[in-house]
Every structure is written in structure tokens, then in C-alpha cells.
Amino acid sequence: MSQRSCLSIILAAGEGTRMKSALPKVLHKIAGLPMVAHVVKAAEAAGAGDQALVIGHGAEEMRKAAAKFAPNAETFVQEKRLGTAHAVLAAREAISRGYDDVLAMFGDTPLIDPGALTVARLKLAEGAAVAVIGFRTPNPTGYGRLIEKGGKLVAIREEKDCSEEEKKIAFCNGGLMAVAGSQALKLLDAVGNKNAKGEYYLTDIVEIASRQGLDVVATEASFENALGINNRAELAQAEGIWQARRRHEAMLSGVTLIAPETVFFSHDTEIGADTIVEPDVWFGPGVKIAGGAKIHAFSHIEGATVAGNCDVGPFARLRPGADLREKAKVGNFCEVKQAVIEEGAKVNHLTYIGDARVGAGANIGAGTITCNYDGYSKFFTDIGEGAFIGSNSSLVAPITIGKGGYIASGSVITESVPDDALAFGRARQKTIPGKGKELRERFASAAAAKKK
């Protein structure tokens, strides 16, 4: 297959009115990635080196988004929505370049498996002019039926046009197909619009090709491959299917998920073998977890790197730029952002570390805060190797705590601390005997007077 050139034409011009959103339908996300980007990735994995995106509604927004997930894709605008064959022909310029295979795909079918596309391409390599991807279901009501004779596909019949016998067919049209590049334009140009809606249907090329004596075949994939997204409920259904697939893959690769159904991955989550993930953990985009880490319950991780044998959570939040080195610990109710926590360092509880470096083996006490923002700019805090930061300390950046530095609990530190130095930054305590009782009596008297 690697020797055959392939163009994938991805139809993404629909308005998606049932999504009830100003955002173009295909830009709604599954696992943190626009659904059309999932389709692009599947096409690439199936060997489609070139992509053509057919866009319409929200064209400029689509172009901006495509620049991120498909920077090399060409975009073609379907000015009028006159059917699926008309949409594919919007990419006529690309088709005319003479590819071996052309894949016609839909931007709202994000669960398509690259393997299903590869099987369809193999049929073209074996001589078929058209290969349609279908699925079987015990309840085919509402789907177009794939009509086969002698092992060949002769027609795709919409249910309203089916005979009673044809309605019993459980092999249904998945919408996606592969077309031999040498036949694509000839078949598409032969599609007419003599139907109730006056539209040009891509499915008509099946009968056209059959009448011309060309081989047309159907391949079978699971229903999930053809699942189209039209509303938020179906979007959530697709998210659930994607997550179930990814959890299964993670566990087979050596990751322990104690309660798999409560863990949510992003499209690009990387997680190593022998990592243990407790219940209710959310991985946002850009997360890399090395082997042997332990992610405790109710943690939220995004844009972060976690090295081997680290310990995170419970109730930890790692924000973009968090970089935990080997055997580092970020404990309960801690937040780390744009900061390196070096080997063996501990940020145990109730702490915020932002725009900082915590040196190897350092210990950060409960309630410590790096004061990194003055309302206008961010500033850096550098905490040296083996430093000890006492509980309830505020480190006002920019500041450096030297190697082995010791910060007394309850301090507000505004000046850098040399290596191995002890720093206090708090007012001297004063104790007045009996004053507590006097204050209570005074306050109680005042409160009673207000009630009268």
C-alpha cells in the first residue's frame, strides 16, 4: 500500500444546526481534539499522504483550526450545499492530479478506524473501482442498505426506496468509501440530481460504476466506524466510545487503572507501563507519564511531564509546564504550574508552586506559596537542592533560596537566601497575660448591647 498514492477528501462543510452552537460542528472536540482532526489522523494512518478539506460554514474558523491539526491539508469551499457528490467535487483540482486511491470521508465520523480504511484501499489495489465501507446491525431501520449480488455491490438503497425484502438486509451503508483515482472524476461527473431533494448523492456512483461493468465491493467494519455526530448527545456517546478504547489500550500496555470508567485521557496522553492510576483522574492535552508513577485519585493533569516513580495527588493539579523529575512528589491539594520539581523533591500538601524550580531533595512545607505575579508580570522562584521551606511561607519572586537553605515557618521572604542560611520573615511574637479574657468580655458586652 505504501507504493500507492492516496488522497483523502474530508467533507466538513455542514452547519451542524442540531449541535446548537456557533462553532462549526466538526470542530467540537473528542478527547481534546476536534472531531475532524480524528478523521485526518485516521486517514494519515491509513496511508493517505494528502488531505483535502471541503469546508463551508465557518470557513475562516475552519482554516485556522486546520492549520494546527492538518497544516499540509488543502481547503476547498463548497459554496452551495447540493449533496455529498457535489461536496466531493469541490476538491476537483486535487482529484485531477491522478492519485491511485481517493478516500471520501466525513468530518463528523471521528471513530473511523485506520484499519477499515486500509481494507477498503486494498480492494482498490485488487482491482475494484469502488469500495464502500458498511456495517451490520440487528436494527437497520433508518439506514441505507447495501444491495449485493454475486459478491459484488450493485446499489445503495435508502430505506424509503427499499422493497420489503430489501428492508430485511442488515448490511448498512457506513457512508465512507474508497474510489479508484483513475475512475473518480468520471463517476462523480456522471451523478445526477433527479431525486426528491434535487441533490447529487455520492452513493449513486455505486450503480453508475456497476452499469459501466466496473467492480464495486463492500467491506465490513464495526458500527462505531460509521457513527456520525449530529448533536451533543451523540458527541458524548462518541467520547465514551473513544475513552473506552483508550482505557483498554492503556491497560493492555501495562497501566493499572483501578476504576477504568472514571479515568479520562486526552488524544495525546502518553503513559508508561507499571503506572498506577487511581479513580477519578483527568488527563488533559500534552501529558506524558513515565513508567512506575502513581497518580492518586481526583487529580487533574494537563500539559505536564511526570518522570518515573513519581507520586502525584490525591487532589493534585498539574498545570501546563509542570515538570516532575524522578521520584518527585506532589501531594494532596497542591498546584504546580510552569515549574520543575527535581529528583526526590517533595511538595506534600496545600501548596502552590508556579514559575519556579524546586531543587533535588528539597522539602516544601504545607501552605507554601510562590508569589509569582504582581498583577502585570510573572517572576521566577529558584529553590536550591536540599532546601527546607517551613509551613505557611510566602516566597515573593523574583527570589532565590540557596542550596540547603532553611526558611522558618510562617515567613514572608522577600530577599534571596544564601546556601545553608536560615531565614525568618515574620514579626516578633508578643504575649500579654490576661488580655484574651478582657477582649472576650468586651466583645460579648458589645454584642449584647447591639441586640437590645
Q: Is 211 annotated as a binding residue?
A: no
Task: Supply the DSSP symbol for 427.
Answer: P
Amino acid at 72: N
φ and ψ of 270, to 5 deg: -115, 125
Q: Is 391 annotated as a binding residue?
A: yes
266 is in an annotated binding site: no
How does strand 381-383 pair with strand 399-401? parallel
Q: Is there a binding annotation on residue 236?
A: no
Q: Which of 415, 388, 383 is nearest to 402 (CA)?
A: 383
Active site residues: 349
The rounded distance, in Å, linking the Cα atoms of 421 and 399 is 14
Q: Is 158 a known ligand-binding residue?
A: yes
For the CA atoms of 430, 435, 437, 439, the dihedral, rounded to the nearest 10 degrees, stands at -100
Task: Say whether 14 counts as a known binding-site residue.
Answer: yes
Is 309 marked within a binding site?
no
3 contacts: CB under 8 Å, gap ≥ 6: none
Q: Please tell me whether 366 is known to bind a ligand.
A: yes
Q: Is 92 annotated for ligand binding?
A: no
Q: Is 278 annotated as a binding residue?
A: no
User: Taking the C-alpha atoms of 56, 57, 61 and 63 in order, what is their torsion angle to the nearest 10 degrees?
Assistant: -10
Is 201 annotated among the ligand-binding residues?
no
378, 402 contact by CB (below 8 A)? no
- 200 annotated as ligand-binding: no
Would you say 193 is a known binding-site residue?
A: no
Q: Is residue 73 part of an annotated ligand binding site?
A: no
Annotated ligand binding at 372? The verdict is yes
Rounded distance between C-alpha atoms, residue 78 and residue 412, angstroms? 62
DSSP 109-172: -TT--HHHHHHHHHHHHTT-SEEEEEEE-S--TTSPEEEEETTEEEEEE-GGG--TTGGG--EE
The response to whether 332 counts as a known ligand-binding position is no
On whether 84 is known to bind a ligand per the annotation, the reply is yes
Q: Report d(CA 56, CA 199) in Å as an integer.
A: 17
CA-to-CA separations, 224 to 14, 116, 229, 387, in angstroms, rounded: 21, 11, 11, 54
Which residue ranges make up the annotated binding site for Mg(2+)?
A: 108, 230
Which residue ranges make up the annotated binding site for acetyl-CoA?
A: 366, 372-373, 391, 409, 426
Which residue ranges make up the annotated binding site?
A: 11-14, 25, 78, 83-84, 108, 144, 158, 173, 230, 319, 337, 352, 363, 366, 372-373, 391, 409, 426
Which residue ranges make up the annotated binding site for UDP-N-acetyl-alpha-D-glucosamine?
A: 11-14, 25, 78, 83-84, 144, 158, 173, 230, 319, 337, 352, 363
